[in-house]
Amino acid sequence: MIQYKFGAFTIVVLSLLNFGKSASAFTLDKPTNSSNTIQEFTIKRKLSWTNQDFQIFAPNSTSPIMKVENHMANQFSGFFGLDINFPDGRFLDVKAQAGGELCGFKQIYEISNGVRFRIDPRGILSDQWEINKSGNVTQNYIWHRNVRRLAGPLVGEDKRKVAYFDAKTFGSRFWSGVFRIRLPGLSEYTIVSNGDVPIEDLVALFVTAIIRVDDCSW
């Protein structure tokens, strides 16, 4: 607990335990494939005209393993599209089945590798994101997004935690739940994964969620 005193007033700031943890401190289940390891990937915004393009870095890497470009100028443009580009020239695209971003409504998204995921905003409750059994994904997975922040575990039908999403603004988890800032360098996002779900599918879901919060303000 940190106290700041101003005259007769005392402002008490309570730091919840999970704000103080690193993303890797959240326990994931062991990979089902023994050749996989638990890894933490970093997502950083690039400077662009929308500031909604991203670079993804593997642990101890200075070169991005993926770049994501957003083709939606705003929520009224009538079209949502992401390109995920790999250094070897491969690419995937992500599209919303409804075409555009529909704030406050359920939506289904599809990756060009056949994987589908969806969001249920659930009103005043936390968003529920689900990766469906499709493409290279062998079961359904659910992420109940933190009601204030872009954070929380991805859990399979078998109740195993296979990934954890996290965000910081100004280096703080607390401030990531207060400010919505698109400027590169001020916010950083992480995905901790045990490898059960391909990293490109996790990136597609998490970047879509980041952009949705940018444009819908929750």
Residue 209, helix vs strand vs coil: helix
Q: CA 213, CA 218: separation in Å to the nearest integer? A: 5
To which H or E segment does residue 208 belong? helix 199-216
Domains of the chain with CATH codes:
38-216 (2.40.160)
The pLDDT of residue 80 is: 83
Digit-coded pLDDT (tens) for 8-62:
333 233 333 344 444 445 789 999 999 999 999 999 998 887 778 999 999 988 9
The pLDDT of residue 76 is: 52
The pLDDT of residue 13 is: 33
- The low-confidence residues of the chain, meaning pLDDT below 70, are 1-25, 72-78, 218
DSSP string covering 64-133, please? -SEEEEE---STTSS--EEEEE-TTS-EEEEEETTSS--TTS-EEEEETTS-EEEEE--TTSPPEEEE-S
Residue 216, helix vs strand vs coil: helix
Cα angle: 155, vertex 146, 99; to 5 degrees: 80
Q: CA 145, CA 114: separation in Å to the nearest integer? A: 24
Start-to-end Cα distance in the chain: 27
- Find residue 6's DSSP bridge partners: 9
Decide: 56 and 66 in contact? Cβ < 8 Å.
yes
Q: CA 151, CA 176: separation in Å to the nearest integer? A: 10
- Region at 200 (left for phi over 0; alpha for psi -120 to 50; beta for the rest): alpha
pTM as predicted: 0.84
Torsion sign over Cα 193, 93, 70, 74: negative
The pLDDT of residue 108 is: 96
Nearest to 190 by CA among 81, 58, 85: 58
